[in-house]
Structures are given as structure tokens and as C-alpha cells.
Structure 1
Amino acid sequence: MTALTGFATTLAMIVAIGAQNAFVLRQGLRREHVLPVVLVCSLSDAVLIACGIAGLGVLISANPVALSITKYGGAAFLLAYAAFAVRRAFRPTTLAAADHTPAALRTVVLTCLAFTYLNPHVYLDTVVLLGALANQHGPDARWLYGLGSITASITWFSALGFLSRHLAPVFTRPRAWQLLDATIALLMTTLATLLLVS
């Protein structure tokens, strides 16, 4: 039951489309380095959740300087990615292989890591909030809660990355990519603004 609570709570938190989810969705639609992206997101969540259960959340909450550095770095990264999305929106492509050059694996993984670790909300959600919720279940059951949380993360990122290919017929039209990139640009700009004013 504790693991199921952790699963449900975590799934409710990560399903909302944010910067990381938008990136995973885009990679899934392009069918480009999907497995490494899913692994980076899932393993990162697993590490951060475990750190939160082990007590790192208390240290982060007590260190506003670290949060501020992450806050401004994350906002800068999101704004830069928004600019790239705007540029792509004005040069839309399709899913046809001839229409785009696949990004290098290294570039995709580094971008995914940036979306994960430059976002202060990742620390607040996984390390601070989930860590605190898990620790309410006592010394032994807290790790069952964490197991449920990690399972939810793996389930979500796998579904988002690998099942998004079923939307491929929609994205055979450049207009669909244009709308997706415009939405991503708006989302990134909004998230960056919310980070700066919070």
C-alpha cells in the first residue's frame, strides 16, 4: 500500500507537461535517442528521490544560495531553449527522414541532463517534497514509498518516450511541428518567468 501511494503521488506530480516532459515528447516523436533519454530521466529521478529519502531535502531547504544559483541558471537555459524552439517554428520540418538531421547522442543526453538538473522544481518535487512525504511513513516503509515513486517515474517516461511515436501520423505535416515548437517556446518562456519571479 505504501509503494502504491508513492506511485500515485509521483505520477500525479510528473504528468503535468513541463520542460523535461516536452523534451522527452519531442525526442519520442522524432524517434531519436529515445532509450537514452528515458534512461537519463528515470535514473535521475531515482537518484534524486533516494537522496530526498536519505535526508538531502533538509539540506537543500536550508541552503538558499544553491537554490538561487539553480534558479537563475535554469531560467537562462529555458529561455535559450525557447529561442531555439521559436527558430524551429519558423523552419518547420516533418517526420520524414530526409527532413532533419538526427542530433548527436552526446548533444541529446547533455540537453536532457540540463533539463533535469538545471530545473529547481526538480529538486523541490523529488528531493524535498517526495523525500518529506516518504519519511512520513517511518524508517522502513519510506523506502517502499520511494520504490513506488521510482516505478512511477520509469513508467511515465517510458510511456511518454516510446508511445509518442503513435502520434507520428499527425506530425507528418510541417504545421503540426510548427504548433508543437511554438507551444514549447511559450511553455519554456513561461516556466523561466515563473522561476525568476518566484
Structure 2
Amino acid sequence: MENGCEIPWSEGRWTHEPVRVEQDGDDLLVEAAEGSDAWRTTSYGFVHDTEHALVCPMPQDSAVEVGFVARFEEQFDQAGIFLRAAEDCWVKAGLEFADGTPQVGAVVTNPASDWSVAPVPQWVDRRVTIRASRSGDAVTVRARVDDEDFRLVRVLPLPEDAELEAGPMVCAPTRAGLVVRFTSWRSTAADGSLHP
């Protein structure tokens, strides 16, 4: 996987404006609104379309990486990457504090949401990177902490001709005051294959 190039924070547009955005050196501090979330229907019966995602176009045969510091402590605190093709066709992937522990996972929505997670309690207060690689009719999501190897999170279908936008995402469904420090946003070449 190539290093690629940094995407300036100023290049993106917010799907929904956060409470506060502040640049701190090269990092971006983003405060989420209480109740912000992205979900459609499944199991809960509601539609939430209030996530804070800073997105720009993601062409075919490319990948996007988002880095942030994982300081979560309240139910459903979350950050990661958001990929949006339409109001009812999107993906959020990243780290979410659920049921007392950080979980790495993804929500895939087309048009109803699903959710898959795996506990990663050792990722607290560390630098997390989420990577989404787009090739053909699929997106491959990987994640890592610090400089460890990327681990596979999800492979999901996406129409080849979808006009996709992607970038950093933060939500705080249950509380006010969540601030996430995003450390990087970069574009790279798509993964050469699913397996190393």
C-alpha cells in the first residue's frame, strides 16, 4: 500500500456541520453535536441522518485513509471514515465505544443498515487509522492502531458507477462534548488484492 498524498482539511465539505471545528497544527479537532448519528431502520426502527462527515470525491481504484486518536468513554462515541453514494447508500467504518469497550467495525447501508463489530480494548488513547479501498464492485475496509499491520474489517459491495464521497466522520449519539482529534486524511492507490 502506497503512502499517497495528504488531503487538506479545507478540501472537504461537511454533510452536517459540527458544533466546533478547530485546526491545531496539522490536526483537526471536531466537536460532535449530541444526538449526531447515521443509521437507517434496522432493529431500532428509526432513521438518523445527522453524522458529521468531511467528504470529498473518491474515484474508482483509489483508497482513503483517516487517522484519529481514540479517546472515547460514553456509549456510542465514534469516529472513522464515512463513504456516501446516496441518502440510503453509505458506509461508516471506524471505532465505536459500545457496551463498555471500544469496538472496530462498520455499518453498511443500502437501503437499511447492518452493523458488525469486534472488541479492541487495547486501542484506547492510541492513534487509529481506518482505510477504505475501492476497486471494481467492492470496497475493502481495513483498520490498524499506531504502526501495526492493517487488519481486515469488512469487504462490501458497491456499484462500480457510484459517485462516491469519503472522508473523516464523528458522531455522538448519546451525549454532548465529544471532541475527536483527527491526525490525517489521505488518498492512496487502491489495494492490489484482498489478501497480502
- TM bucket normalised to smaller: under 0.3
- Structure with higher helix content: 1
Q: Which has the higher contact order (CA 8 A, sep 6+)?
A: 1
Highest CA radius of gyration, 1 or 2? 1
Tell me the TM-score normalised to structure 2 length.
0.24
- Structure with higher strand content: 2
Tell me the TM-score normalised to structure 1 length.
0.24
